[in-house]
Structures are given as C-alpha cells and as structure tokens.
Structure 1
Amino acid sequence: MFRDRPRRTLGIAAAAVAAAGAVTFSVLSLQPAAADADQELRLTTVQKVSTAPEHPKTGDTWVTYFDLHSTVSDKNGKETTGRRVGDASDRCDVVLARYEGIVTQCQRVLRTDQGTLVLTSMTDRFGRGPYTTTAAVTGGTGSYAGAVGQARITLDDERASYRITLRG
C-alpha cells in the first residue's frame, strides 16, 4: 500500500478541514438576509381569445391571450380589475385527462411597460372552478430581469388573479 504521509497526519488534516468548514458554515448562516425586501405584485388577467378545446384530451395544447390589469381591493377586501398595465399569454398542455377533469402544465408570460415575467405551473382542474395553483417565477426582462419567486394564481373562467412574490 502506497503511503506518502503517516495516518496520524491525515487524521489531523481531516479534522482541521472539518473544523474550518463548520466555522465557515456558522459564519455564513449568521449573515443577515438580503437588504432588498420581497416585492409583491397583484395582477388580474381578462381573456381576449383562446384556442382551448371544449373537451380537452391528454396531449391537447392551447394558447390564450389576455389583457393584463392591476388588481384593486376595496375596503372589504374584494378584489376588482384596475387599470390596464399590459398583456399576457398562456400556453398549456394537458398532461392527464380523466372524466373528473384535467391536469395542465402551463407557461405564462406577463408583459408590462416595466418588463416581462415568465411563470410555469402545473394545475389540477378537477370539478368546478375556480382553480388555484402555485407557479414558479422562472425569469423576466427589464426591471424584472433575473426575477425569481412564486405566484399564487386563481383561475376563474375567463379571468385569473395573480399574487406574485418576487424574492429580494
């Protein structure tokens, strides 16, 4: 067996590396959170046109185009459509179709004057709507360049409500 160092030296070196790693880990875990706070966007889409089939089957694909609006809440917390801020589109694929409903995988693009946000999600659409899903924010352009976070989406017939949280 080839040995260029005694075992005791290797044991001490391994212990030193482990201790240095533990110190580094503890120092990094004490770092404060990023100075930038999370940003929340509240948006609503209103469908303009869709190619969705009336009775979707596994493998079906469609696209939908929307007007994009800010979301306004009244004093009772009821949300309504605010002013138009851009447009949006969805491209959805049916990954599972059953008698009770479907599961879709969708990529969503929300476009405003400040930039574009891209989201992706998988949604169970069983029974009667509205349907709620969580989407990943996978990127963006303009002031949303490098965006990461998540969105809570509520799909209700020809409207969708977005509550988007962008991370620091």
Structure 2
Amino acid sequence: MSRNKMEYRALEEREIVRVDLIEDAGKSLSPEIDIGQVEGAFIMGLGLWTFEDIIFDPVTGQTLTNRTWNYYVPGAEDIPMDFRVELQKNVSNPLGVLRSKATGEPALCMGAVVYFALMNAINDARKDAGASEDWYAMNPPLTVEKIFLNSLTSPEQFLF
C-alpha cells in the first residue's frame, strides 16, 4: 500500500513534499533495517522513473549516458521532505524465513507513484497553459527537461 503527496511547480524543478509508505514485511526480524531497505528501494524507484535516462547515439549505437557527469541518479535534495515509512502490524508469512517478507522489491515498485503524481501535475499545467490536445507522448523517465517541455510552460512565464 502506498500513499503519495507531491508538489510540482512548473517554473521550478520538482519537489516531493511528502510520501507515506505502508509496507507488509511479515514478521519483521529487524524493523529499523527493514525501514531503511524500504526507504532506499523507494528512492531507487524514484530514480528509475524520474532521472535515469539512457541515451544512445542514433548513428553508432554507443551509450552516451555512461558516466556520472551525464547519467543522473537521485541526490540528497531529491529525497521527500517528509518521508514516512510504516511496517504493517500483525502480519505474518508462514512460508518466509522466521515469518518475514522481502522489503526492497515492493518499495522499488512503489516508486512508480512519483511518475503518476508528476503526470497529474503535468496534465494540470497543460490545462492551465490552454493545451488543445488531450493526448501527448510522455515516456519515462520524467526528467526535468521532459517535464518542462510537455507542461507547455513558455519562457515568458519566468521572472528574471
């Protein structure tokens, strides 16, 4: 189960205000470690959906984003300002080691909520800009550049 609240400003970079995650970890062997695993996996998922854009040279097929200078991953400023993780209470897994469950994989998949929250924000920005078409192509990852171009924000809206 996941609940996500996100704030996006069309004239600035994205900022995740709050994320609430509830994880079914079975009977947790170490709640502190499991919460850390959930947090780390969610941030990995956030990176997959919003930062990690693999770009290939159209002529040679060579990977152009193969170094830290041009392949971006989430940094400390990209972690939600209010990040709440809770392990579901009173659950057990009769098939798991000491009745526990995996914690990283589900939280990695929950990173997709950031994509859907951003898509809703982009749709709202497009409506505010008077977009005439309802459909547009927007493939992940939703980089800052893709968000800016697809939200139809005009340069005149920036204050210098």
Instruction: Pick the TM interval, shorter chain.
Output: under 0.3
Between structures 1 and 2, the one with greater strand share? 1
Give the structure-1-normalised TM-score. 0.21
Between structures 1 and 2, the one with greater helix share? 2
Say which structure, 1 or 2, has more relative contact order (CA 8 Å, 6+ apart).
2
